[in-house]
């Protein structure tokens, strides 16, 4: 039965499909971005619902640890891929900031250093998708707690892999903007 459906299905070349997506994106760019953002928000809510379910059975600390491990696997794989191109020849803070900026591919207007010295840097970062905050809001989770227990913790692992003695902490969240700190920690 499946072969009959396959035989009657309209066939498109990949180039044709991609050109059509590009045409639609150019004509309806804002709608395309809104639709993709909506899908990502839904996905993130589903992922956090899974975390909450794990938390009910094993405790929320263990659920956050499991989530952090999966995030860390992706980030550490990225780090291994870009390590040969990383140029880290500044002090600890400058090197940590370079890794952070490179991982998030931060562009002007989405990142602002507020204070910086040789021991710490305080900065703001805009989250374009804002899916984590959306999921936390929908499910009643604290966005700062989630970010520190899952995402900042994985940034710390990246720093450790590069022999940087740094700690990332999310301090505040406000309408798409995270305020964070990276600081030198003693060994």
Domains of the chain: 2-184 (3.30.1380)
Whole-number Cα distances in Å, 25 to 43, 101, 130: 21, 28, 21
Helix segments in the chain, DSSP class H: 2-8, 14-27, 29-58, 60-82, 92-104, 131-139, 143-146, 153-161
CA angle 119, 108, 30 (to 5 degrees): 135
Question: Does residue 51 contact residue 67 with C-beta atoms inside 8 Å?
Answer: yes
176/93 Cα distance (integer angstroms): 24
Encode the chain (187 residues) as per-residue pLDDT tens digits: 555 665 666 655 666 666 777 787 788 878 877 888 888 888 898 999 999 999 999 999 999 999 999 999 999 999 999 999 998 998 999 999 999 999 999 888 899 999 999 999 999 999 988 999 999 999 999 999 999 999 999 999 999 999 999 999 999 999 999 999 999 998 6
In order of 12, 175, 182, the CA distances from 7 in angstroms are 13, 50, 57
d(CA 42, CA 175): 18
Is the Cβ–Cβ distance between 98 and 113 less than 8 Å?
no
pLDDT at residue number 98: 93
CB 122 within 8 A of CB 134: no
């Amino acid at each position: 039965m499946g072969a009959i459906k396959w035989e009657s299905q309209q066939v498109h070349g990949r180039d044709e499909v991609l050109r059509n997506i590009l045409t639609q994106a150019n004509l309806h760019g804002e709608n395309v971005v809104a639709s993709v953002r909506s899908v990502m928000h839904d996905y993130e809510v589903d992922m956090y619902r899974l975390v909450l379910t794990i938390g009910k059975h094993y405790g929320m600390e263990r659920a956050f640890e499991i989530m952090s491990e999966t995030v860390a696997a992706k980030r550490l794989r990225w780090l291994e891929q870009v390590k040969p191109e990383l140029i880290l020849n500044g002090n600890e803070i400058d090197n940590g900031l370079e890794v952070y900026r490179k991982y998030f591919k931060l562009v002007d207007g989405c990142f602002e250093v507020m204070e910086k010295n040789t021991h710490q840097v305080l900065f703001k970062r805009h989250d374009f998708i804002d899916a984590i905050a959306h999921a936390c809001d929908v499910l009643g989770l604290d966005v700062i707690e989630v970010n520190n227990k899952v995402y900042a913790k994985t940034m710390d692992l990246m720093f450790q892999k590069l022999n940087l003695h740094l700690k990332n902490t999310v301090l505040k969240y406000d309408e798409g903007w995270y305020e964070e700190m990276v600081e030198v920690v003693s060994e």
